[in-house]
Structure 1
Amino acid sequence: MGTKRSWEGQPLELHPKDTIMAESEPSAPSIQSMFENFRDELDEHHDRRERIIKKSRDITALSKKIIFALQRVRATNQPLPPKIAQENQLRFNAINELFEAVVPEQLGINGWRYQRQISGGIQEFIEALSFDHYLRTQTLITHAECAARIPSQILVSEEDYLMGLFDLTGEMMRFAVLSLSSGNAAATKSGNTEGESARPTLAPSQGGIVVDLRAIRAGFEAMTVPRRHSMLRDLGKKMEVMQNSVEKVERAAYGILVRGSERPSGWTPDLSGPVEVETH
């Protein structure tokens, strides 16, 4: 037990607790070391975040190239042209390699911590994958089928799936308008009366796109989202764009069916004007 002197010079006894506290007080080098560890952890976090964002952007760029190639297709519910299928398969392979490279960055709790950084790439990939699936089968891809195309360690949330399908409607709209304006509408008799003029009608594949888009719109409009869900941040804009896309296709189809016989050869639907959308 140590001693110390008071201001009068008399010895004072040190309490054992004082000695323990004095010995346990951290020194300046240990505090500096602690903050250096914090710095290293933050640097590692920011570096990992930037690596994931970079890969997400690469996935987005490749997905857009897939979509651009698919817009050259002119038929649904049948195999893609060999050249386009081969080009896109190489891009799908490259996307899979990028997802595999992200896996080590998102192990454990990091899967949630950095989910927002990879979310944009996942949504764009789902848009490309669902468009490819629709052109091949004329059906809508499921959430489970999308998740099966991405490494299991990477979270494919329902939000990312739905946002990818919202964007799909825009690509379906472009595909449908090009198909409707290509002059492939068939002409049939409206009756058996002799001399009755033929009226235009849509080919089955063209009419199917219109029906499918209307069904997708009905499904989205029937969807309910909790008030505090993060999806609400972008839902309003996505819903508006989707509704406008469906309205444009409907307007183009109605223009062919109602007044198609009056259209000159090579006529293209005018979709430049705004579309009023009613939400029920």
Structure 2
Amino acid sequence: MDGPSKSHSASPFMPMFESFRSELDEHHDRRERVIKASRDITAASKKIIFSLQRVRNLGQPIPPGIQKANTQYWKSIETQYESISRDLQGLNTHRYGRNITGGNQEFMEALSFQHYIETQCLISYEEARSRVFNMNAGGESVLLAPEDYVLGVFDMVGELMRFAITAMATNGVIPGGEAQQNKTLTGIIRSDENDRDDGAESMDTDEPTSAQETPKVPCRNVLADMRELRLQLERLELPQGSKFAEDVEKKMSVMRQCVEKVETALYGLMIRGQERPKGWMPDLREEKRAPEAVESY
């Protein structure tokens, strides 16, 4: 009885399979940590977005009360990114990319939404990636993939829709910023080209241009910015058959619906609102009526 057991325990293959088991256990533990962190980042980002929906003005700092309430959630996101920074290095960056993408997209949605409220501009990929990098200054940082950045911007359009419709239903006016000097929403995307153009123009004259001589574009509102975002996102050229292309196709249809909803609400406010008594607010339920009901009426 002792002979077979001793030969079995002394098998040369046992250490190899034990190392395989150790690697698999480590893989599953790492995967679970990344998934849990992604869920916590998603939950904290949603809470930030809910608080930001209470803002009613554009181009101004976040109110102190909302900013103070969101501080704990930004800190929670930073803690979660720090906890998985070592797990997402090297090949593991792509190996567990699908496990962290949900948290990255929700984080980008919250970050870009707050940046838009404060500046009425779209945050660039470099700024967003730097924000994640600075969360773990003492070590390796989590890489924010360009795909997560783009998908997060798609989701942000939905928050702009809620922001615009809520403001119109509450105040009777679509949110908009002040007239700005040659500044558009997606101008920050082509910042390099604009910088080169500005530099070339500045060398053509020796005298600085005064603020009065600088042309200003008309006041932009949320709908104009959403239309510009739709225009720029529809110009994306993606490799067919990839997972990223499938995600973009799904979010593209939702984004178009969000823009149409704001257009319908603004139509009811500006056109049909003139037929209503003073103080009338748009009934958002009107946009849910079927086309057949309108025609029959």
Structure 2 length as normaliser, TM-score? 0.74
**Which residue type is aligned with residue 217 of structure 1?**
R
The one of 79, 85, 88 equivalent to 2:70 is: 88
- For residue 250 of structure 1, report the CA deviation from its aligned partner: 0.8
In the alignment, which of 163, 174, 191 is matched to residue 175 of structure 1? 163
Question: Contact conserved, 2:37 with 2:84, CA < 8 A, in 1?
Answer: yes
The yes-or-no answer on 1:247 pairing with 2:235 is no
Q: Is the 8 A contact 2:269 2:282 kept in 1?
A: no
Match of 1:51 in 2: 33
Question: Which amino acid in 1 is paired with 2:52?
Answer: L
Larger radius of gyration between Structure 1 and Structure 2: 1
Report the CA distance between 1:112 and its aligned residue.
1.8
Q: Which residue identity is paired with 1:162? A: V
Cα distance 1:266–1:48, how it changes in 2: closer, same or farther (>3 A)?
same
CA contact (8 A) 2:58 2:117 kept: yes
* Deviation at residue 207 of structure 1 after TM alignment: 5.6
Higher helix fraction (1 or 2): 2
Which one of 239, 260, 265 corresponds to residue 226 of structure 1?
239
The CA distance in 1 between the partners of 2:171 and 2:78, in whole Å, is 38
- Flag structure 2 segments of 5+ consecutive residues without an equivalent: 1-8, 134-139, 178-218, 292-297
- Could you tell me which residue of structure 2 aligns to residue 144 of structure 1? 126
Q: Return the letter of the residue paired with 2:152.
A: G
CA contact (8 A) 1:106 1:114 kept: yes
Partners of 1:177 and 1:252 within 8 A in 2:
yes
Match of 2:152 among 139, 164, 167: 164
Question: Are the counterparts in 1 of residues 57 and 117 from structure 2 also a CA contact under 8 Å?
Answer: yes
Percent identity for Structure 1 against Structure 2: 45
What is the root-mean-square deviation in Å for CA atoms of aligned residues? 2.1
- In 2, Cα distance between equivalents of 1:241 and 1:60: 20
Farther-moved stretch of structure 1 (162-171 vs 34-43): 34-43
Question: For 2:172, which of 184, 192, 198 is the aligned residue?
Answer: 184
Q: 1:257 aligns with which of 252, 266, 270?
A: 270
1:32 maps to 14
8 Å CA contact 1:64–1:128 kept in 2: the answer is yes
| 1:274 to 1:154, Cα distance in 2 relative to 1, 3 A | farther
Cα pair 1:184 1:203 within 8 Å, conserved: no
Task: Select which of 227, 232, 246 maps to 1:214.
Answer: 227
**Counterparts of 1:111-126 in structure 2 under 5 Å?**
111-126=93-108
Letter in 1 for 2:60: Q
Tell me, what secondary structure is at the counterpart of 1:271? helix
- In the TM superposition, what is the alpha-carbon distance from 1:66 to its structure 2 partner? 0.1
Distance in 1 separating the partners of 2:159 and 2:48: 12
Opposite residue 227 of structure 1, the aligned amino acid is Q
CA contact 1:115–1:155 (8 Å) conserved in 2: no
Name the amino acid aligned to 1:268.
Answer: D
Q: What CA distance in whole angstroms lies between the structure 2 residues aligned with 1:56 and 1:274?
A: 39
One-letter code of the match for 1:70? L
Q: Secondary structure at the match of 2:26?
A: helix
CA distance in 1, matches of 2:35, 2:104: 11
2:211 is matched with which residue?
Answer: none
1:181-228: CA deviations, max 9, x gaps?
A: 12333xxxxxxxxxxxxxxxx564496101000000111111111114
Matched, 1:108 2:90: yes
- What's the counterpart of residue 3 of structure 1? none
Contact 1:63 1:124 in 2 (8 A): yes
Aligned to 1:268: 283
Q: Tell me, what secondary structure is at the counterpart of 2:57?
A: coil
Unaligned runs of 5+ in 1: 1-26, 186-201, 276-280
Provide runs of 4+ in structure 1 moved above 6 Å. Answer: none
Deviations 1:218-271 (A, max 9, x none): 111111111143211212210010000000001111222222211342433333
> Counterpart of 1:189?
none
Greater strand share, 1 or 2? 1
State the 1:273 CA deviation: 4.3
* Alignment CA distance shift 1:273-1:41 (3 Å): farther
Tell me which amino acid in the other structure corresponds to 2:78: N
